[in-house]
Structure 1
Amino acid sequence: MNRILSQKFRFFTFISICLLGYVHGYNLNITYLAPYSTIEEPLSLTTFLEFLIANGLLRFRIPLLFLISGYLFAYYDNRSYADSIKKRFKTLIIPYLLWSAIALLFTFLLQQNSYTANIVKETGIDQFGDNRPYLEIGWGGMLDRLLFAPIAYQLWFILALFLYNLFYPVIKYCVQKAPIIWLAFTLLIWMVSVQIFIFDGQGLFFFSIGIWAQKKGVFLEKRPEWLSTGIFFILFLGLCIIKTFMAFELEPNTGTTFFTLMILHRACIICGMIAIWYGIDPVIKNTVQQKWFLQISNYSFFIFALHVPLLPYLMKFVIMSTEGIWLNRLLSYLLVPLVVMIFCILTGSIVKKYLPKTYLILTGGRGF
């Protein structure tokens, strides 16, 4: 792999993970933003900007990470399948279980104090929708949350990625033998958000695109001469703004609203990926040469794994503590994710320095 592409991968991996803070840090009344989500609270500067950023402008990140993952897995597929899966179990599943357990324990400890227990309940991020104390839910419920529905809900990405790696031979075969049919099929899966138990189809299309790009030798380093990033930036920003206004105006829970917002959401992601990937090359070239970037980008995985549930709990605490202060929700949205990202980096650096073996296990060997 050439240096330019390697630098792009490192830059976008770090930036995409950092931006998760502003995707997961919104403080709207709705606790889960889906592509088809509507906002049932008044339109204001705060609600508009938070929805625009969290459910519009920054939604290109996860598809981009899946694309990069697919490309890299295909690039290194000269290893035996058994060795690859064994390595991916170590780098994905073990960290998945450990960070899920850490988040579960952290939440359990907060539930032992009446004030912090109320914060956990009010935050309402349990994936099963049951925000009762874990002592009431029982061991079975805690085990389900540990394995299948972590309170650190961003970990779904790791599980989905492992499953794609597990089925890589099948995906690769389909990509190489029938690329048009396979990519059309996976695009449809992505468009309608297919999920079956622990299999999540949201990233399969982009993971497949990454494999296809690597095997076909598609030139990802520089923008093709025929492609205008300016047009895609305009489309990206314009569609995100239109979708945001519609989320406040359309009737919730109707088929028309669902398909309208879903299509706009997917179009925003595609336009955003193209515009960002090819449109900020000078920024990438300058940033990856900076010493500070080389240092903090080593903690990408630590940021990814640690920021939730810490971020939503802290956000709820700050909102409750600053109630009545002008623009407290917007200011909290802008500042709290940044504080959490800094905390994650500092925590990662401390663990890496004083507990290097623990750091290696928690990150699956990343960051060294």
Structure 2
Amino acid sequence: MTQHLSEKLKLLSAVAILLVLYIHSGFHDDEIAGMAANHYTQEVVSTLLGRCAVPLFYAMSGYLFFLKTPRGLASIPEKIQKRLHTLLIPYVLTALFYVAFLVVVNSIPALSKFINSSILPTLHQSWPRVLAAIFYDAGNGSPLAFHLWFVRDLLFVVLLSPLLYVLLRYLGWGWVLLAFVAAFAELPYLPVVALFWFSLGGALTKYPVAVAHPRLGLALLGAFLLVSAAQLLTPELALWKPARIPIILLGVSAIWLAYDALVPAGFSLRRHAWLDAACNFTFFVYLFHEPALNVVRKLLVVATGKNSPGYLLSYLLSPWLFMALATVVGIYLRKLVPRLYAVVVGGR
């Protein structure tokens, strides 16, 4: 992997995690009722732009997973074992931390108002249901730590990687097309959307797509923004729902290709210390941004006021403020308790 590609993956991961933070920084409709500026700002950033974040993560994960397979199919079990270490351990620890955090906060009246809901009713169920809620599905399609659904589905796809390797090897882009069609279906227990994006990333390692001109990315980005603007202005049109995945594909492709047109060839992360640090702690930020981000955005509202400017300022600043704070925390944890930090983030 070239230095340019390595830094590209790091920077795009930082962009994607920032979009995820914006998705989870939005205020509910009843909180910003009648505030048109707030509503449309959240729609643009969280809904229309933010929808590219998780697919981009899946595609990059598939790319990195299948990038080096020197022994062919025989290389896959070792990669699975490594991913179980880098994903499963952080998943379990973060899921448990989330529950412990909420139990503590809910027990303190002065702090409980900064949390949207209580998990105590869930914890009063039978142990099998409690464990299922914590580590798999709390009844809404996500575990109690709802942001971890991404890692849960990624782990499932990784376990299917031997089959995916064979399909990519013998069917090539034909398999990606089949996975794309399957992504439109809602199948129980099978993360077909994650399967498509992961397969797409894997296909790009085996069958690279040549780009005639880097400005193609800018053209695609312009097209994605135009389509998003049309969707913002005409949300009632029925075509937007079936077109969701193709539109996201356009957006992800635009982000990936536009990077090469927007970032100079001589750019180096090492010359930008804080940006480099932020890029190295994106997984830590992802793991622990909930429910801590919720506390940050509500504290900002206390300071700015429960009005349109206050909610808007909190929404716009919360992701940046939290990412900066989490990066600083990550730096000190890695410095003071390196072994603990390594375990928590899966050795990253």
Question: 8 Å contact 1:91–1:363 — kept in the other structure?
Answer: yes
Tell whether 2:115 aligns with 1:153: no
Question: 8 Å contact 2:35–2:308 — kept in the other structure?
Answer: no
State the one-letter code of the partner of 1:234: G
Q: What TM-score do you get using the length of structure 1 for normalisation?
A: 0.82
Name the counterpart of 1:182: 175
Name the counterpart of 1:213: 204
List gaps (5 residues or longer) in structure 2: 137-141
Name the counterpart of 1:15: 15
Distance 1:30 1:265 in 2: 26
Structure with the bigger RCO (C-alpha within 8 Å, sep 6+) is: 1
Picking from 87, 91, 94, the partner of 1:96 is: 91
Measured after TM superposition, the shift of residue 55 of structure 1 is: 0.7
Question: 8 Å contact 1:85–1:165 — kept in the other structure?
Answer: yes
Task: Return closer, same or farther for 1:356/1:97 CA change in 2, 3 Å cut-off.
Answer: same
State the one-letter code of the partner of 1:342: A
Deviations 1:172-225 (A, max 9, x none): 211222234422221123234x3523x322221121112111112445xxx423
State the one-letter code of the partner of 1:330: L
Deviations 1:50-82 (A, max 9, x none): 011101013222212211111111123336433
Tell whether 2:340 aligns with 1:361: no
Question: 8 Å contact 2:214–2:258 — kept in the other structure?
Answer: no
Question: 8 Å contact 1:67–1:209 — kept in the other structure?
Answer: yes
Task: Return closer, same or farther for 1:52/1:287 CA change in 2, 3 Å cut-off.
Answer: farther
Task: Return closer, same or farther for 1:163/1:98 CA change in 2, 3 Å cut-off.
Answer: same
Distance 1:154 1:24 in 2: 9
Measured after TM superposition, the shift of residue 316 of structure 1 is: 4.0
Distance 1:66 1:59 in 2: 12
Picking from 266, 271, 294, the partner of 1:290 is: 271
Q: Secondary structure at the match of 2:285?
A: helix
Q: Secondary structure at the match of 1:225?
A: coil
Question: 8 Å contact 2:19–2:49 — kept in the other structure?
Answer: no
Picking from 45, 62, 66, the partner of 1:74 is: 66
Name the counterpart of 2:106: 111
Q: Secondary structure at the match of 2:347?
A: coil
Q: Secondary structure at the match of 1:263?
A: coil
Tell whether 2:41 aligns with 1:60: no
Task: Return closer, same or farther for 1:80/1:270 CA change in 2, 3 Å cut-off.
Answer: closer
Measured after TM superposition, the shift of residue 289 of structure 1 is: 4.3
Task: Return closer, same or farther for 1:144/1:117 CA change in 2, 3 Å cut-off.
Answer: farther
Q: Secondary structure at the match of 2:281?
A: helix
Distance 1:218 1:237 in 2: 23
Question: 8 Å contact 1:299–1:345 — kept in the other structure?
Answer: yes
Task: Return closer, same or farther for 1:205/1:320 CA change in 2, 3 Å cut-off.
Answer: same
Deviates more, 1:7-16 or 1:266-275: 266-275
Deviations 1:314-337 (A, max 9, x none): 334544675544422111101122
**1:1-368 pair list within 5 angstroms:** 1-29=1-29, 42=34, 44-78=36-70, 80-120=75-115, 123-124=116-117, 133-134=121-122, 136-137=124-125, 139-148=127-136, 149-192=142-185, 194-197=186-189, 199-219=190-210, 223-225=211-213, 228-247=216-235, 250=236, 259-281=238-260, 282-283=262-263, 285=265, 286=267, 288-292=269-273, 293-319=275-301, 322-366=304-348
Question: 8 Å contact 1:18–1:303 — kept in the other structure?
Answer: no
Question: 8 Å contact 1:92–1:158 — kept in the other structure?
Answer: yes
Measured after TM superposition, the shift of residue 43 of structure 1 is: 6.8
The total of aligned residue pairs comes to: 337
Question: 8 Å contact 1:8–1:284 — kept in the other structure?
Answer: no
Distance 2:129 2:303 in 1: 31
Percent of aligned pairs sharing the same letter: 24
State the one-letter code of the partner of 1:206: W
Task: Return closer, same or farther for 1:11/1:284 CA change in 2, 3 Å cut-off.
Answer: farther
Q: Secondary structure at the match of 1:60?
A: helix
* Alignment RMSD (CA, Å): 2.7
Distance 1:141 1:119 in 2: 26
Q: What TM-score do you get using the length of structure 2 for normalisation?
A: 0.86
Question: 8 Å contact 2:176–2:203 — kept in the other structure?
Answer: no
Question: 8 Å contact 2:217–2:259 — kept in the other structure?
Answer: no
